[in-house]
Amino acid sequence: MPSFTKEKWTCSHTAVLIFFTGAVAGLFALSWAVSKDPPEFKNLKYFGLGQGPTFLNTFNASGVELNKGLYEELFGYKKVTGQITETDKQSYQARSAQNKCQGGCPAGQCVRGLCLCDKENPVQYGKCRPRSEAKYLGDREKYRKPELPPLPDNCYITVEVDGRMTRVVDDLEAHRPECQQKVSYPNTFRLEEQTCGLSEAAVGDCFDRYMNLVCGDMNKCVCRQDMRWNDDRMQCELFLPEDCSGVAEVDLATSENKEMEEMIKGRKLVLSTASVDKEKAKTVYCNLLEVHSKKHVASMRGGREEPTILGVFNTIGIIIFGVACAFGFLWLIMIYNMVRYFIRSLDPRNVMMDNLTTGEKIAALGAVAGQEMVERQGEERRAALLQGQTV
């Protein structure tokens, strides 16, 4: 680093100042950038501790194992806390216990009475679809609209849309009467308007609208047991009804919590005459939800570390931040020396000295040293005279 105390300001000083300033600012910005989550990683947690009743997003929280575990614990919690009626028990015995689905599963896999899709083909608008097709889905799939009648071949052109070759109406032919669609379907789909047949075999009449819609009372399509219709995603989804917003985290390994966990998971028999602490059951259940939530968030992040260090940085970010602090310290030293040099340059004597040659500087220093020696000898003589007068 160039010295600011004995040299004149040069281009090298400017270059070093610009470099260090840019390096410090860049490193601080980089430490923040590598730690900051992209928008798709925001609000990944929506169930578990601190969260209220919610639908289980079957696109993000997909996969048979996750949904199966959540559903089994929900059933166990309702059983432990006495939230299951006799009618519910008969339904569970007929389907969940035997792992059968009413009317079967036209797609996916039957798990405890529900039709579930695997992780790579999550439910999208009522059907198991490849995850990669999500961006191609539109109003036709959302509102379960039938295919429009085909137009003459000369009305179409094949173009690339979102990376996929698609057949669309040619703008140059769209003005022709034969290339104008005469049929349209409204963007509406109301569950209460979905009807089914009268026969016992009509239980599957609703499958064409969603594999988890079955024919219920009054010949209306209804969601399977423990599922509710989600208007936002236009499909039946598992609903987690417990409010865990005010529940604290506890250690599930303790004996009392472990016993309650075993009861919820069905590994320990719960007698109908037994007295159950419902608050404790809620606490343990919400903490079990938290375990699933953490796994779900980790899966959605794909191994990317959360910025939990100081509430802002991840491991890589904090390392870069440390390097930025080291550069920043050197930058402060440089600025300090620069200020000292600037103050020094305001003294005319220093300016004059900077303009002298080496020989002139040596002569000037010699003169100063001689002057100091004469002054010192004069002080010694005055001291001797004072001493003689005293004697």
- Residues sharing a CB contact under 8 Å with residue 246, sequence separation 6 or more, in sequence order: none
Give me the amino acid identity at 341.
Answer: Y
Can you give the pLDDT at residue 390?
A: 52
End-to-end CA distance of the chain: 61
pLDDT at 228: 92
pLDDT in tens, 85-142: 777 777 777 776 677 888 888 888 888 888 888 888 888 888 888 888 888 888 988 9
The pLDDT score that the predictor gives to residue 369 is 65
Q: Is pLDDT of 282 > 90? A: yes
What is the model's pLDDT at position 5?
46
Q: Which residue reads 């769209």 in tokens?
A: 174
User: What secondary structure letter does DSSP report for 62?
Assistant: -
Higher pLDDT residue, 361 or 77? Answer: 77
Residue 259 and residue 64 in contact, taking contact as beta carbons nearer than 8 Å? no
- SS3 of 215, please? strand
Global pTM exceeds 0.95: no
Pairing of β 213-215 and β 164-169: unpaired
Residue 320 and residue 27 in contact, taking contact as beta carbons nearer than 8 Å: yes
Cα within 13 Å of Cα(141), Cβ side: 14
**pLDDT confidence tier of residue 229, bands split at 50, 70 and 90:** very high
